Chain A
Amino acid sequence: MPVRRLIITLLIIAPLLALLAYGFTRDAKYIKSPLLAKPATPFNVMLYDGKKVTLEDFRGKAVFLNFWASWCEPCRAEAKDLEAAWQKVKDKDMIFLGVALQDLDDNAKAFLQEYQITYPNGRDEAGKIGVDYGTWGIPESFFIDPQGRITYKHVGGIRAALVLTKLEEAAKGIASAQEGRGDYQGVR
């Protein structure tokens, strides 16, 4: 009788414990993007220098697309790294494009000046690009291969080394199975 009771108790408790343990291994804030290895949604961006660019303009090049805002601390943390990475690839068939979300023009321009960002940057006026790319936080970065397919997504601040690695992969059309997450490091 006690053995039977013990087995029944274990049968009830064990799955619950397993579920709890599985829950601990998961990050509640992690959202698996359904966009990986899918075609990137086309968009138009009005750049801060007045020019207008579309994703189609970059067809045939590996694209690093970064969503940011001047009020976002992790964006500040990654800003210098992104510029450093851009300096290394700007002469190759690779493109960096920054898109500011939910930001004021003056603040965004001051941000670009403060970190001496030289790659093209513009704003997502209606917020549609952000939704099209399934963004839920800032910064978020996307790597798009020359055929216009998303190969990697990174949520949070990203380092120059990873940008270069993933950009090389994108250039070769290698898509990652999972998105990455950044560690936030405040710089101010």
Chain B
Amino acid sequence: MISLYFPFVLSLSKDSERVHRLGARLLVALLLSLLLVPPLRAATPADIDDRTREIATELRCVVCQNLSVADSPSEMAQQMRAIVREQVQAGKTRDEINAFFVSKYGDWVLLRPKTTGFSALLWILPYVALGLGFLAALWFIRRWTKKGTPTAIPENDNQAQRDALRQEFSLPDIEDDSERAQLLRGRERVREELNELEFDFQSGKLSESDYNALQREIEAKGVSLLQQLGALPLAPEVKPQVMKTKEAKNPAAHSRFKLWQMVSGGVFLMLFGLSLGVMLTKSIRPRQGEGDTMTGGFMTGTPAVSSEAGAALAEGKQAFERQEYPKAIEAFKKVLSADAGHPEAHSYMGFILMQAGHGDGAMLAFDKALARAPNFPMALWGKGMVLYQDKKDFPGARAIFERLLALVPPGEERNEIAKVLAEISASGGATQPVKNAAPATGQSISGTISIDAKLKAQLNGNAALFIIARPAGGAGGPPLAVKKIDKPSFPLQYTLSQENVMMQGTPFTGKINLTARLDKDGNPTTRGAGDMTGEYKKNPAEVGAKNADIVIDQLTQ
């Protein structure tokens, strides 16, 4: 890159020192840009989930009211989420995914409108409105405060000052017998007399000459009273008024003070409004179901419970209790489609996989649960049991159970954990724990599994073989029996018997459809390109048959 810049730099200046300096700068810029580039690594499922959610949050659920694709429990939103996920997995960027949905639904589908073109107005107008509102508020407050400012009293105008002060005086207390109080009461009487005189004259009780004579007499009395009142020293009550007038002497300081008050008031109101708006939108949400609250997230940290997911979880647990595993699997899958990291659903899935003898799958499920909630007791228990019973990893199992023991309060569960720990210690790793598998009794089916010559070259060394038996004529659902063989070599002799049935107590008899799946990554929970499948060509087979041979001849693209 520097070599590309170099001739250009040379042409800029012949000064070699300057060229060196520029070169050094370019080198630093290049190194910085390299540092800023995120390290390349393969996207993990958790990354994909996060990215999917991030993008789905900005897309509108087209059948909902103001819900994002990420938040909506609707089937349409689920389908849209699946498409987002697919495109994320395919390595598409956020802009490309957004552009895909915009090409189908228009800009409307974006919850965050574009910042270009006409949509830019949506981003600009609120700030313009905020600014205008602020200016309008400032203008109104200024107007109101101007109206409320006391009239400045001219300096050195004692008479006017006194008149103004007198206007402020109300009638003194009746018990006040000071000279000022007596004079004020006298002034009030004079005013009343003048009013009465005016009334009598207007009503025709007095002649004009009498009226004029009486008016002069009362006015003279009033003037005398006012002169006496004016000669008195100022009363202490008027001090605040005097202060006001002093303040009025410096209008610039007064105006600065008012401006400061207005600005701080405006800023306070704006901040209050903004925080209230943010708080309300972040902390209040519509209740999603009976188990959900309207507060959460920002305020209490409780995540929203989707009513559908909540119901599915309850349904799954009930089915698990009744040992109806197919139903339970369906329900937990539903929960996981709404919340991919749900620790309880993953834990239950782990127990079901464990029950079916899929230690690896169970381990994966418990690990997923622990990735979200590292101290989730159910997942810890499950992982410990897999390590202890399936993997025979006694130190690993002991570490997990000891961790669990520290979390669980005294009681029956704690005693159970302590019992398992004692069992592990007693065995010391020397004895093999007894598996809970049913003894291999009753009928079985056997045969040879081979792989098509064309597919043999594509065989993965880490692949796991699943031999699956489903009831003939069944309407889907989980298999009757499954056997897993890690890193198989072909041709392979197999036998499926009672010990391979998925649901304890189900008899391994009757007609079955036999298939085999060679899972590329050995993980039963993932299916994808590169997996190979085959079936018994004469399906259905009768349990008890000896030559139920299967040829793996299909490659999943």
From B102, B104, B106, contact of A131 by CB (8 A) = B104
Q: Interface readout for B85-114 with A: 1 if CB under 8 Å, 0 if not?
A: 000000000000000011111101000000
Name the segment of B72-80, B351-359, B389-397, B548-556 touching the other chain. Answer: B72-80
A133–B101 CA distance with the chains assembled, in angstroms: 10
Of all chain B residues, which has the CB nearest A41?
B104
List of B residues within 8 angstroms of A35 by Cβ = 104
Instruction: Give A28 Cβ to nearest chain B Cβ, in Å.
Output: 10
For chain B, what secondary structure do more than half of its interface residues adopt (helix, strand, loop), or is it mixed?
A: helix
Q: Does A162 contact B (CB under 8 A)?
A: no
A34/B104 in contact, CB under 8 A: yes
A131/B108 in contact, CB under 8 A: no
List of A residues within 8 angstroms of B108 by Cβ = 31
List of A residues within 8 angstroms of B80 by Cβ = 131
Instruction: Give B68 Cβ to nearest chain A Cβ, in Å.
Output: 15
A127/B76 in contact, CB under 8 A: yes
Interface residues of B in 126-142 (CB under 8 A from A): none
From B63, B83, B105, contact of A128 by CB (8 A) = B83
Q: Does A126 contact B (CB under 8 A)?
A: yes
From B63, B76, B78, B105, contact of A34 by CB (8 A) = B105
A131–B102 CA distance with the chains assembled, in angstroms: 11
Q: Which of B76, B103, B104 counts the most chain A CB atoms within 10 A?
A: B104
Q: Does B82 contact A (CB under 8 A)?
A: yes
Q: Does B9 contact A (CB under 8 A)?
A: no
Interface residues of A in 5-46 (CB under 8 A from B): 31-35
Q: Interface readout for A120-150 with B: 1 if CB under 8 Å, 0 if not?
A: 0000001110111111110000000000000
List of B residues within 8 angstroms of A136 by Cβ = 62-63, 76, 105
Known: A31-B108, A102-B76. A131 touches B63 (CB 8 A): no
Of all chain A residues, which has the CB nearest B108?
A31
Known: A31-B108, A136-B62, A136-B63. A131 touches B79 (CB 8 A): yes
From A32, A33, A130, contact of B76 by CB (8 A) = A130
Count how many chain B residues have C-beta atoms less than 8 Å from C-beta atoms of the other chain. Answer: 16
From B75, B102, B103, B105, contact of A127 by CB (8 A) = B75
Known: A128-B83, A136-B63. A102 touches B106 (CB 8 A): no
Of all chain A residues, which has the CB nearest B64?
A136
Known: A128-B79, A130-B76. A137 touches B104 (CB 8 A): no
B106/A33 in contact, CB under 8 A: yes
List of A residues within 8 angstroms of B76 by Cβ = 102, 127, 130, 136
Known: A31-B106, A31-B108. A137 touches B79 (CB 8 A): no
Instruction: Give A131 Cβ to nearest chain B Cβ, in Å.
Output: 6
Instruction: Give A24 Cβ to nearest chain B Cβ, in Å.
Output: 19
A126–B78 CA distance with the chains assembled, in angstroms: 10
A126/B106 in contact, CB under 8 A: no
Of all chain A residues, which has the CB nearest B83?
A131
A130/B106 in contact, CB under 8 A: no
Instruction: Give B164 Cβ to nearest chain A Cβ, in Å.
Output: 30
Q: Write 25 A-B pairs (CB below 8 A) sorted by A numbering.
A: A31-B105, A31-B106, A31-B108, A32-B106, A33-B105, A33-B106, A34-B102, A34-B103, A34-B106, A102-B75, A126-B82, A127-B75, A127-B82, A128-B79, A131-B80, A131-B101, A131-B104, A133-B104, A134-B104, A134-B105, A135-B62, A136-B62, A136-B63, A136-B76, A136-B105
List the 10 closest pairs (A to B, CB-CB), nearest first: A127-B79, A136-B62, A134-B104, A134-B105, A34-B106, A102-B75, A31-B108, A136-B63, A131-B83, A32-B106
* Residues of chain B at the chain A interface (Cβ within 8 Å): 62-63, 75-76, 78-80, 82-83, 101-106, 108
Further 16 A-B residue pairs, CB within 8 A, beyond A127-B75, A137-B63 = A31-B108, A34-B102, A34-B103, A34-B105, A34-B106, A35-B104, A102-B75, A126-B79, A127-B76, A127-B79, A128-B83, A130-B79, A131-B79, A131-B104, A134-B106, A136-B62
* Residues of chain A at the chain B interface (Cβ within 8 Å): 31-35, 102, 126-128, 130-137
